[in-house]
Amino acid sequence: MKKAKILRFLKFGTHLKQLKSSFPFNRGPLTLLLCFIFLSCSKEDVPKPLDLSNLSVVTTEKGQVIPGGIYVQKNIGREGGTVQSPGGEIKIQIPSGALNNTQSISIQEISNTAPLGAGKSFRLSPEGTTFLKPVKITMKYGDTPSMFAWIVTQKEDGTWLGDTRTLVDEVEGTVSVETTHFSDWANGRIIDLKASPAHSTLGVNKSKDIVITGFAKPDPGEVPDLVPLKPIHPKEDEELVGIPSMEELLRLDRYHALRLISWTLDGVPAPTSGNKGKLKANNFSAQYTAPAKVPNPQKVQVSASIEGTRADGSRTKVILASNIDIIDGYYLRIELDGQEYMLSGDQAILAFTPRDNEKMILQAIQNEDFILGIRIMDETPDFSGKPKVYTIGDEATSLPNTVELLIDGMKNSFYNLSYSGVPYLQKCIPDANSIKFEPVRFSMVRNDGKYLPGVGKLYDVEGTFSTKVYYYNMNEVPCGPAKAYTLKGEFLLQGTEITVED
């Protein structure tokens, strides 16, 4: 952010702060769906086998080699052998007779681009190698609940296959498959079972409705329409199943049933009421109400315990949680790839200029360690509460970014512009032809507002936003694609509508 922009923010922020005392604070309703998966398991509900051959599969770019990532190489001959990473993240067991001659077998860590990818991904070489006998690939599945962990592999055309033969070892924390070919292999989740959002903010005396259901979550920060789920049973002779579109993928489940065991508020089973608020549960729904006073500590946790039953009758359990910050006032909460920043209403401003090409400006400054600016250009902001994607950049400048984030003493900059670096004088510089604008998704509502003569109209505005941003430092331009980060936020702020004179 240029110095002039910072000064403009400070001046306007001081002016807006003076106006707040004349406008009554009104916290609008804030509703959250905490979505889980529930699958019915009665015999009558089991659908007919689905012909997966007609499903449209997901195509993604190939994973990129991770600088400094895991790399292992070993020569393996006819007698067979084992190749594994030092930390045990992946192990390849090659039986005797799988190879006709000695070959150099290598493991290279790459970025995980799989649909619902979770954890690490590896390129096994030589790519395209076909073994005379199946080799066993074993990978650690990390934080993924064991009931949803599996291994996926990418074909040359960019499509993915999920291996329904994946075996889970809950004691060792690994998944394994047998295969006769080498390519890109990755950890993944069969379905996306999570609390959404994992972190949220709620005003005192306000409530969150909690519903157990299934949904696809294709974009960060987006809560799409709820989708009913039914288990799909692939054909018995089909071992590798094409990974279909997101909604279809969520229905691929090797469990006969998932059931809710309990709801809890900071470990106390529902129903419960006290200085941390109220939690009421009714079978597969629940409601949390914040207390009248901010508790100490101000963060509470609502959890649901879910049990899965396998086809063989064995069971496993997973606990999903949503952390809720209780506040009393305006706020702006930001997440940058999991790193959280919490700002008060005095540290952020929201302005609407309907007669200017900058239709909306959100600016926030905590200190030199956090400065954020987001603009909506040439598109009328939507306050219906429904998600809207804003696709127009700032065409008046050479770089059309509408999001600018500076952190760590303004040393690290992020913009909603993807780019690739090309070699130049033993370094790399951005390739101008590679620069691409990343749209911003907003979901907002605002009240009727109050008009102040000579100033404009003041509103209470609440909402969420999400986009992808890319790190940029002129001294650290990558040779290749810049790394993408997920930037998302939620807010309840006072906004001012300003009339721009002709």
Give CA–CA dist 287/272, Å, rounded: 11
Predicted model pTM: 0.59
Q: Cα-Cα-Cα-Cα dihedral of 353, 355, 357, 362, to 10°? A: 10
Per-residue pLDDT in tens (0 to 9) along the chain, 502 residues:
333 333 333 333 333 333 233 222 222 222 222 233 333 333 333 333 333 344 455 678 889 898 889 999 999 999 999 999 999 999 999 999 999 999 999 999 999 888 777 889 999 999 878 899 999 999 999 887 787 788 888 888 887 777 767 888 989 999 998 988 898 999 887 765 555 566 788 888 888 777 654 323 333 333 332 222 222 333 333 444 444 444 444 444 455 456 778 899 999 999 999 999 999 987 667 789 999 999 999 999 988 887 777 666 777 777 778 888 999 989 999 999 878 899 998 999 999 988 788 899 999 999 888 999 999 999 999 999 888 999 999 888 778 999 999 998 778 899 999 999 999 888 888 888 899 999 999 999 998 888 888 777 899 999 999 999 999 988 888 888 888 899 999 999 999 988 655 4
pLDDT of residue 164: 67
Taken in order of first residue, the domains within the chain and their CATH numbers are: 3-27+330-497 (no CATH), 65-110+117-189 (2.60.220.30), 192-327 (2.60.40.10)
pLDDT of residue 258: 64
Tracing tokens 């911003």 back to the chain, one arrives at: 440
Q: In 3-state terms, what secondary structure has residue 502? A: coil
pLDDT of residue 333: 92
pLDDT of residue 88: 92
Instruction: Give long-range contacts, CB 8 A cutoff, 24+ apart: 203-206.
Output: 203/27, 203/30, 203/290, 203/326, 203/327, 203/328, 203/492, 204/290, 204/291, 204/292, 204/293, 204/294, 204/326, 204/327, 204/328, 205/289, 205/290, 205/291, 205/292, 206/27, 206/29, 206/30, 206/289, 206/290
Q: What is the DSSP letter of 171?
A: T
Residue 151: closest CA among 241, 277, 63: 241
pLDDT of residue 126: 92
pLDDT of residue 393: 92
